[in-house]
């Protein structure tokens, strides 16, 4: 059993397989994280819903498996809601294979207030398959303006919207995305839809979409769209070819926000892995890790509104400030670079840099993110650039979180994040920040 890479502050299951976060909801001050789970194998098998809870987004208690496969199929991804009367409901995709093809329907589950007892709706599936091989991942929200429930669901290369007043009878409203954002040979997945306020107080809608292959860093990634949603259709505020990314790393997928009736700042969590190599990551007892939670906000930039993300203050404080025996720490880095100069960050006591920051002009820079090959993990190595703005008055500040091989790097006031898994020989090794030339001459 290998626990070398078990994180201290990122959630991972005790044992078995984990992928997408599901059913994120905050109830009575408690955060509940459900997740795609095979409790019997770390290699991925029949999907269940695992379950963990936390009061501070730092310490997680794993609970009993919540949802098991039924006659309708295994339990694919979905969401959770709380009604105005305080009732709790889960929605998930039931998945089975029919004549060698995927067959997926949407199902409703009733839960008690403690989220410890779960009963399937007798009318399941509440939405039957409309003839699509990819029809999954229901995200349900309340749309106050039309006083209806809205479900966003994957329709292959687009996102469909359904409406309901009773959570059982659903009506198709529209679809979005066939000509917008990034597309690849795989489907869009795990949508999320949330209303957010711009700095001027106006309301805008943010649609999160997972792309299983062909994302910015190759493989899986999480893109988003900003626009308006009237309860019937989503209208993109940007040009169709505009691509916006929650994270530019290789390991931030299927991001979901917590349903929270308190009106708190929206918080998301993503699966910190990539379908290119998720089944071959270097752990044995468990496979799969979640990202740190991130608070989401809209900020105004020259190109329009954009999503900025910040690690909650309580999570920041949980990390120590320097690398030590635990291999879990947070470090703020300030780089004062002249035009053409490069700064480098090496982790885990290794001699080669993992990130190289190059100031390319007065107001621009790039982050080169580098990862070496790991035996048994095809497509894991990478070397690519992320463009970002260099502050007019400098320095460029970076916020680094390292947790036993899982690294999250934020900059540009939360507009740019890079999340990458590493499997170093010494996860607790020291960090070094210097010029690229110093590394090359060492």
**Is 9:58 a contact under the CB 8 Å cutoff?**
yes
Residue 254 near residue 19 (C-beta atoms within 8 A):
yes
CB 331 within 8 A of CB 355: no
Catalytic residue numbers, as ranges: 20
User: Token pair for residue 436?
Assistant: 């690229």
Locate 382 and state its tokens.
């990478």
Strands in 311-353 per DSSP E: 328-335, 342-346
Q: Peptide bond before 20: cis, by omega within 30 degrees of 0?
A: no
Q: Which residues of 327-355 are buried (b: 16+ CB within 10 A; e: fewer)?
A: bbbbbebebebeeeebbbbbbbebeebbb
What is the distance of C-alpha 345 from the center of its chain? 24
Residue closest to 292 by CA, chosen among 273, 310, 269, 314: 269
Q: CB–CB of 1/7 below 8 Å?
A: no
Alpha carbons 348 and 189: distance in angstroms, whole number: 34
Q: Please tell me whether residue 393 adopts helix, strand or coil conformation.
A: coil
Edge-first strand order for the sheet with 364-371 is 382-389, 364-371, 355-359, 342-346, 432-435
Dist. CA 4–CA 1, nearest whole Å: 9
> Exposed, middle or buried, 325 (CB in 10 Å: 0-12/13-18/19+)?
exposed
Angstrom distance (rounded) from CA 229 to CA 435: 47
Q: Which two tokens stand for residue 435?
A: 């010029």
């Amino acid at each position: 059993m290998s626990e070398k890479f078990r994180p201290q502050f990122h959630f991972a299951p005790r044992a078995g397989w984990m992928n997408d976060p599901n059913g994120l909801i905050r109830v009575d001050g408690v955060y509940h994280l459900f997740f795609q789970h095979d409790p019997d194998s770390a290699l991925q098998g029949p999907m269940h819903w695992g379950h963990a809870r936390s009061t501070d987004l730092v310490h997680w208690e794993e609970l009993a498996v919540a949802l098991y496969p039924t006659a309708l199929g295994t339990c694919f991804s979905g969401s959770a809601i709380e009604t105005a009367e305080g009732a709790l409901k889960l929605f998930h995709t039931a998945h089975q294979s029919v004549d060698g093809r995927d067959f997926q329907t949407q199902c409703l589950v009733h839960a008690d207030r403690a989220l410890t007892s779960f009963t399937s709706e007798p009318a399941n599936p509440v939405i039957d398959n409309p003839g699509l091989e990819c029809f999954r991942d229901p995200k349900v929200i309340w749309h106050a303006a039309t006083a209806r429930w809205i479900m966003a669901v994957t329709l292959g290369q687009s996102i469909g919207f359904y409406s309901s007043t009773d959570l059982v009878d659903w009506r198709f409203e529209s679809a979005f995305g066939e000509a917008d954002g990034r597309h690849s040979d795989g489907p869009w997945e795990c949508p999320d839809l949330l209303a957010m306020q711009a700095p001027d107080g106006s309301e805008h809608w943010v649609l999160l979409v997972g792309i299983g292959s062909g994302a910015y860093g190759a493989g899986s990634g999480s893109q988003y769209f900003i626009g308006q949603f009237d309860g019937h259709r989503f209208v993109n505020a940007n040009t169709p070819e505009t691509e916006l990314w929650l994270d530019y790393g290789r390991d931030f997928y299927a991001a979901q926000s917590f349903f929270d009736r308190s009106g708190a700042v929206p918080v998301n969590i993503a699966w910190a892995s990539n379908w290119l190599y998720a089944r071959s990551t270097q752990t044995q007892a468990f496979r799969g890790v979640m990202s740190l939670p991130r608070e989401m906000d809209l900020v105004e930039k020259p190109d329009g509104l954009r999503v900025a993300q910040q690690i909650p203050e309580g999570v920041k404080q949980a990390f120590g400030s320097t690398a030590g025996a635990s291999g879990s720490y947070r470090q703020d880095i300030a780089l004062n670079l002249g035009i053409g100069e490069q700064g480098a960050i090496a982790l885990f006591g290794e001699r080669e840099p993992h990130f190289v920051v190059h100031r390319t002009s007065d107001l621009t820079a790039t982050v080169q993110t580098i990862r070496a090959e790991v035996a048994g993990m095809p497509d894991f190595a990478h070397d690519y650039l992320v463009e970002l703005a260099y502050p007019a008055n400098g320095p460029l500040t970076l916020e680094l979180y390292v947790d036993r091989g899982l690294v999250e790097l934020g900059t540009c006031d939360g507009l740019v994040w890079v999340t990458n898994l590493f499997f170093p020989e010494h996860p607790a090794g020291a960090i070094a920040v210097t010029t690229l030339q110093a590394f090359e001459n060492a």
